[in-house]
């Protein structure tokens, strides 16, 4: 079993849970996040080296990987976990699209550029991408998130197809609803995201830990996602019609909530 890892987006949520699980197993860690204060707390709790910074940028990724190799000597597993959402559709600005794609997709590309040549020289390595079930299905109410997570899965697939025979293992974690700050801030989407069981970040980390003993590409903490994905592939029009029905329910919920709020604010004191 490998024993060194880098975890991005480690200040909270799934990233923090991954770092905690690996630390309990005795791994040596480097953790990264934009939030330096919360990252420092995670590093203190796990014995990791904290590298605060923006791992969506080329300079940030280069600095993280170089620092990790200098500190650890080698990197067995890189958890590309950092991700963001917008909760917007066509109203998302170009800047929001760019930021989401930089964080959710290009960060993985930039990490692979730095890591894969090193892994090929060393005889192997493992990239684990936190992609979300949105990368296999879709994400109503957040176009940039949905598109970027599909792209993240697609890039991970390409890496696996290209380098697996040379010892590079690539895996994609694709959970549905997880009890994180992102879910808490999802507004009207929260009910949709929690139609099936909502897992804790620790449960997702446990699934990722078990997956390290395999070379399976998909890591599905919510097993029902496999069935949804199969239905989508086999019956795309029926699947899209079902998703549209969910969107109609979401529209109704938003309209009802807006009407209720408007009525409440107009009532006399």
What is the set of active-site residues? 145
Helix (H, G, I), strand (E, B) or coil at 45: helix
CA–CA separation, 248 vs 242, rounded Å?
A: 10
Angle at 264 between CA 263 and CA 269, to 5 degrees: 120
Query: For 91, phi and psi rounded to 5 degrees?
Result: -85, -5
Q: 132: left (phi > 0), else alpha (psi -120 to 50), else beta?
A: left
CA–CA separation, 139 vs 145, rounded Å?
A: 7
How far is residue 204 CA from its own chain's centroid? 11
How far is residue 222 CA from its own chain's centroid? 14
Burial string for 50-69 (b: 16+ CB within 10 Å, else e) reads: bbbbbbbeeebbebbbebbb
CA–CA separation, 188 vs 190, rounded Å?
A: 5
Helix (H, G, I), strand (E, B) or coil at 48: coil
Residues 6+ apart with CB under 8 A from 47: 23, 28, 29
Query: For 267, phi and psi rounded to 5 degrees?
Result: -70, 145
């Amino acid at each position: 079993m490998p024993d060194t890892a880098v975890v991005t987006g480690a200040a909270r949520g799934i990233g923090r849970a991954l770092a905690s699980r690996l630390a309990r197993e005795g791994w040596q860690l480097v953790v990264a996040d934009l939030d330096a204060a919360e990252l420092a707390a995670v590093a203190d709790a796990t014995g990791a080296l904290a590298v605060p910074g923006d791992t969506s940028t080329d300079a940030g990724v280069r600095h993280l990987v170089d620092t990790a190799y200098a500190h650890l000597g080698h990197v067995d597993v890189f958890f590309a976990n950092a991700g963001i959402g917008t909760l917007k559709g066509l109203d998302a600005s170009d800047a929001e699209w760019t930021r989401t794609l930089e964080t959710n997709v290009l960060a993985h590309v930039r990490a692979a550029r730095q890591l894969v040549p090193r892994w090929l020289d060393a005889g192997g390595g493992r990239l684990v991408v936190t992609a979300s079930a949105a990368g296999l299905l879709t994400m109503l109410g957040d176009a940039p998130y949905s598109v970027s997570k599909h792209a993240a899965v697609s890039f991970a697939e390409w890496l696996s197809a290209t380098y697996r025979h040379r010892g590079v293992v690539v895996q994609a974690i694709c959970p549905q609803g997880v009890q994180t700050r992102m879910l808490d801030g999802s507004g009207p989407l929260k009910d949709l995201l929690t139609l099936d069981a909502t897992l804790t970040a620790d449960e997702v980390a446990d699934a990722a830990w078990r997956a390290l003993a395999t070379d399976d590409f998909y890591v599905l903490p919510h097993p029902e996602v496999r069935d949804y994905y199969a239905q989508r592939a086999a019956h795309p029009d029926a699947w899209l019609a079902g998703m549209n029905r969910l969107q109609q329910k979401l529209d109704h919920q938003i309209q009802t909530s807006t009407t209720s709020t408007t009525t409440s604010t107009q009532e006399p004191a």
